[in-house]
Structure 1
Amino acid sequence: MNSLAQETPLQPSYPVDEETVEAAFLASKALLGVVARSIAPTLDNITLPQFRVLVVLRSTGPMKMSALAEWIAVQPSTFSRTVDRLVTKGWVTRQPNKDSRREILVTATPHGAELVDAVAERRRKELRHILATLTPADQAQVTLILSRFADAAGEPRADTLLTLGI
């Protein structure tokens, strides 16, 4: 699988009513709004595809350029130009792999990592604000249900990867 999701997400076992689907759809729209607002100030300096590269590198550490291109599902020739722009802006470095000089490793710089972390912190701040409107009991239910939802969707756990920026 060419994503940060787990290789084997849970398989559907239960019927789902439309009210649950609509509630999940509405929640996904609300979360998408939080994501959009958290990244909007950054988009003056970086494109969304470039930011995706930084998020992956911040989450996984250095990667071979070919593997990174495959991971984010872009053509290697196109991806090379994306990396060129990120290098020029000081957000990543590109260097030969010590184990195989034919391979190129791409690494987020501290400046690139700071960019991802700033977006993640804006997102967390807004989520804290929204969640603070819920009672402690409701917050506990949100924690349980969203954790189960993330597992069912195949999202990696925080202890598996660094916290993702998007």
Structure 2
Amino acid sequence: MPPEAPVADPESALVDQLAALSRVMVGFTARTLAGLDTELTLSQYRTMVLLAARGPLRTVDLATVLGVHPSTATRACDRLVRRDLVARRQGTTDRRVAWLTLTEAGRDLVGEVVRGRTERIRDLVRAAGVAPSADAAGLVTALVAAAGEPTEDQWWREWAGSVGREPGV
């Protein structure tokens, strides 16, 4: 039996466990996508989530958020456009600018994946047998905010409000 590892400081222990949890969450998303037989990569799904959460984006802005070169974002979106999950629309004020938006099929798919992943997380919380606490929820909320992401409630409100939103708005 290997010797026990020394007890890490509380911050390192938290970071290590959150890193492990992030692998679980990515797995949930990947399994949910696979269960829907979408043949969608995680990076393509992330692109769609950003469009759902932030509304119409220019390719250059999407690339910045994704941390990739604009040509990489363009190629990824080309695939999503061909599958009718993302649409390109000309701007109303500057016709040279194309805005990327989710199609209805794209919105439906994102919603289905988010709901499926949420159910898997709910099952995991129940299986853990640990009583949820305000401290744990507060920690997660603070981490989500620090990452610049909306809370789950904010995400769903924005998602619901994105129906029919015009590019550039």
Instruction: Tell me the TM-score normalised to structure 2 length.
Output: 0.71
Q: CA deviation at 1:17?
A: 5.1
1:114 aligns with 2:116: no
What fraction of aligned residue pairs are identical, expressed as a percent? 29
Q: What residue number does 1:27 align with? A: 21
Q: Which residue number in structure 2 is paired with residue 6 of structure 1?
A: none
- Number of aligned residues: 150
Query: Structure 1: which 5+ runs fail to align?
Result: 1-14
Task: For 2:125 and 2:113, locate their aligned partners in 1 and report how far apart those are by CA, in whole Å.
Answer: 18
Q: Secondary structure in 2 aligned to 1:122?
A: helix
Which residues of structure 2 form unaligned runs of 5+? 1-8, 160-169
Deviation, structure 1 residue 36? 3.0
SS of match in other structure, 1:90:
coil
Q: Does 1:139 align with 2:114?
A: no
1:60 aligns with 2:54: yes
Q: 1:164 to 1:73 in 2, by over 3 A?
A: farther
Q: Distance in 1 between matches of 2:78 and 2:147?
A: 33
CA distance in 1, matches of 2:61, 2:143: 28
Asked whether the equivalents of residues 91 and 112 of structure 1 are also in contact (C-alpha less than 8 Å), the reply is yes
Query: Per chain length, whose mean CA-contact separation is higher, i.e. which structure has more relative contact order (CA < 8 Å, sep 6+)?
Result: 1
Contact 1:65 1:104 in 2 (8 A): yes
Give the CA deviation at 1:27.
Answer: 3.1
Q: 2:98 aligns with which of 104, 109, 116?
A: 104
Q: Relative to 1, partners in 2 of residues 1:93 and 1:157: Cα closer, same or farther, differing over 3 Å? A: same
Two-structure CA RMSD over aligned residues (Å): 2.9
